[in-house]
Structure 1
Amino acid sequence: MDDLNNIKLPDNIDSLTANAISRGEKYKKKKTVYRKVLTTSLSICLVLTLGMTSFGASAKVMDFAGNVFEELKEIVGLRGGNEATKAINETVIDNKVSLTLQEVLCDEYGVYVSFVVRSEKPFSNTKDTQLLLYDDYAKVSFNNVNLDNGGKAGIEGKFIDKNTFIGVESYLFKDLKGEVPKNFDLDINIGAIALNTVHDNNIVRGNWKFSVPVSLNGEGVKVITPSIKHNNISIRKVTLSKLNTFMEIEMPSGLKEQEVSLFTDKGVEIDGISTEINESNSKALIKKRFKGIPDDTDSLIINFGAKGNIEVNIK
């Protein structure tokens, strides 16, 4: 205790004590502020990360994990299985809309492409079976001519939820000259996608570009030349491709507006897609394109209204 009594205290002990307390309070305040800043920064970082992954990651890991061609087999009229398809799985995102090119299928008549479309903004009408595309162009590496989309303005398919559409687009070779090589590249450029309406405020503009390898596979394609004539109407050729049924029908020019519908022997009506009419020497050559036919079809019934039916055996 004597030693403690001999300790000399500074004369300004009171002011030093006050300063020490003040420094302690300032340190505590700084530490509190630092913790608040750190917590806020981490929160912002977490929000940004979640914001980026909420759409970005989902665009790469699609909600739809199935095969588009197989899922839409009956809707698009795919003949046979999808064994001949080539997997691509390439995704392009622009203006909060992701477009994934899943697979390509090719025969002598065209390239058929399956897509998965996801939009951060919900689609306006999920009951439609077509998603409109604008500025939709496709070219092949062996020719500089734009491919024909077959009379359709978009992707045919269905919605699987309010933000996701799956569908198939056809690009036909009808305007190309020469043979289609075994292997080539397909370039697709899409400039706008409608959120299921034609109103401008629901059209998303962007730049969705793809360049993908394609292999020709004509397995299963069948050409029939029945030479059947009925009431001055002749069936010159029937072609069964992967996703289409093409018909060439000759009739007098006066009958060129004759309605033509197509049924299978099982009573299934095949939807028509497009019609071309070429006239020469008082005769009209009608080129009709229908969807593909079911696998269990044995014959096709071509209906000409009051002019009757013509049945074509395809087996």
Structure 2
Amino acid sequence: MNDHKFLNAVGNISDEYLLEALSYRERNKMVKYFSKVAAAILAVMALTGFALNAFMPVFARSLPFVGNAFAFIQDRLHTGGAYSNYAFKIGDKVTDNGLTITMSEAYCDGVNLYVSFIVESETAFDTWTTDEYIKGQLNYNGTMYIESTEGLKSLNDFGLTGLEGKFTDAFTFVGVKSFSLTGDTFPDKFMLDMKINSVSLITGKADKEYVKGDWHFAPSINVNSGDVVTYEINKEANGHTIDKVVVTPIYVTIYTSYPDIYGDTTSYEVQAYTDGYADEDISSQGEYGRTSGITQIPRVRVNNDLHIYVVNGPTLGEDGLACGTQKISKEHAIVSADITIDK
């Protein structure tokens, strides 16, 4: 697969922020000025909010004191997905070596798992770079698994080593991490076992300075599949099959299978187009095994009609931009499919 598709997926981050929020430290300063009566009222509201959080998705909440990291940063994320409409609060907090990490919320649509975090440091983060993309990431090292009745499975993070999000000030970062099971679907209920053992304090210089510690999270998560639609395709030609397309509020995922890519086969590639994007191949990232793979597209980029082509890369020719057009992809497709996705 072409590397530029993956880079496009993680590099297309909007710099427009539609939501404004006070930092953790600023909120603490303001609370000190409230009267005892106001503080008592706030305490009651906070308890009420906590009770509601256990059972209500983020979009149904109206209390201003409920933490909603997804809502704070979702307009900055490259997928543009409305995570906060579907996420449930976790709120687990661990402090070690001057860093407090809160696992704020989680949303699993069965294909991908998205987890939001708030990272607060006693030492200021060094946001030395002017690159907005680099400033929108916080790197860490750790291990991620899920455990269910199906056993223990390792999570795939698409090769990214950090959280995607934004700094609210020099001491606080709010971000999201996405995971998959490398082409498999998540069980309906599972435990996420995530251990973070170091976090970078220097943005853009992840290999230079890390704060080491032990931040362990193990929440129970239920899959929210109410807004997930599966389109069975099962079109095959010459051993290549477009199996199905799964549409969630965040991603459109194309499942394909093919002859062993390490054998004497074609240079397999999946290309996708949609109305309104002219001749732009909108397939952005994926995971590919020996005989099956998935190709993902942010949901916001797909209009009603989706056109999928499995091609042999070298047959597209050396004619510059023309080799990336839908017309050329269609002419050279090993197998193709056209579907209409309901809004």
SS of residue paired to 1:104? strand
Distance 1:161 1:291 in 2: 32
Uncovered stretches (5+) of structure 1, i.e. residues with no partner: 1-52, 59-63, 280-284
Query: Which residue is 1:225 aligned to?
Result: 232
Once the two structures are TM-superposed, the CA of residue 299 in structure 1 deviates from its matched residue by: 2.2
Deviations 1:219-262 (A, max 9, x none): 11121123457999653221223433322235676775355444
1:250–1:110 Cα change, 3 Å: closer
Given that 2:74 and 2:81 are in contact with CA atoms closer than 8 Å, whether structure 1 keeps it comes out as no
Query: Which residue is 1:168 aligned to?
Result: 176
Decide which of 122, 126, 132 is 1:123's aligned counterpart: 126
Query: Which residue is 1:96 aligned to?
Result: 98
Query: Which residue is 2:341 aligned to?
Result: 314
Distance 1:312 1:255 in 2: 27
Decide which of 102, 109, 114 is 1:112's aligned counterpart: 114
1:95–1:167 Cα change, 3 Å: same
Decide which of 268, 275, 285 is 1:265's aligned counterpart: 275
Distance 2:194 2:289 in 1: 29
Deviations 1:95-153 (A, max 9, x none): 22222211111232343211122332223347223322212323335433333324332
Uncovered stretches (5+) of structure 2, i.e. residues with no partner: 1-23, 30-64, 317-322, 331-335
Distance 2:67 2:209 in 1: 28
Once the two structures are TM-superposed, the CA of residue 199 in structure 1 deviates from its matched residue by: 4.8
1:110–1:308 Cα change, 3 Å: closer
Q: TM-score, normalised by structure 1?
A: 0.63
Given that 1:87 and 1:104 are in contact with CA atoms closer than 8 Å, whether structure 2 keeps it comes out as yes
Decide which of 203, 215, 225 is 2:222's aligned counterpart: 215
Distance 1:259 1:175 in 2: 16
Distance 2:78 2:206 in 1: 26
Query: Which residue is 1:67 aligned to?
Result: 68
Deviations 1:263-292 (A, max 9, x none): 44232865623331424xxxxx4x133243
Distance 1:234 1:145 in 2: 26
Query: Which residue is 2:251 aligned to?
Result: 244
Given that 1:226 and 1:237 are in contact with CA atoms closer than 8 Å, whether structure 2 keeps it comes out as yes
Distance 1:291 1:115 in 2: 24
Decide which of 192, 195, 199 is 1:193's aligned counterpart: 199
1:251–1:238 Cα change, 3 Å: same
Given that 2:142 and 2:198 are in contact with CA atoms closer than 8 Å, whether structure 1 keeps it comes out as yes
Once the two structures are TM-superposed, the CA of residue 293 in structure 1 deviates from its matched residue by: 0.8
Deviations 1:34-80 (A, max 9, x none): xxxxxxxxxxxxxxxxxxx979x69xxxxx98733233156253655
Question: RMSD of the alignment, in Å?
Answer: 3.8
Distance 1:103 1:65 in 2: 11
The structure with the largest alpha-carbon Rg is 1
Query: Which residue is 2:152 aligned to?
Result: 144
1:255–1:249 Cα change, 3 Å: farther
Partner amino acid, structure 1, of 2:90: I
Answering whether residue 95 of structure 2 is matched by residue 85 of structure 1, we say no
Given that 1:148 and 1:175 are in contact with CA atoms closer than 8 Å, whether structure 2 keeps it comes out as no
1:191–1:228 Cα change, 3 Å: same
1:221–1:248 Cα change, 3 Å: same
Given that 1:263 and 1:270 are in contact with CA atoms closer than 8 Å, whether structure 2 keeps it comes out as yes
Answering whether residue 278 of structure 2 is matched by residue 278 of structure 1, we say no
SS of residue paired to 1:192? strand
1:243–1:207 Cα change, 3 Å: farther
Distance 2:95 2:156 in 1: 25
SS of residue paired to 1:220? coil
Distance 2:188 2:240 in 1: 36
1:219–1:256 Cα change, 3 Å: farther
Distance 1:232 1:312 in 2: 21
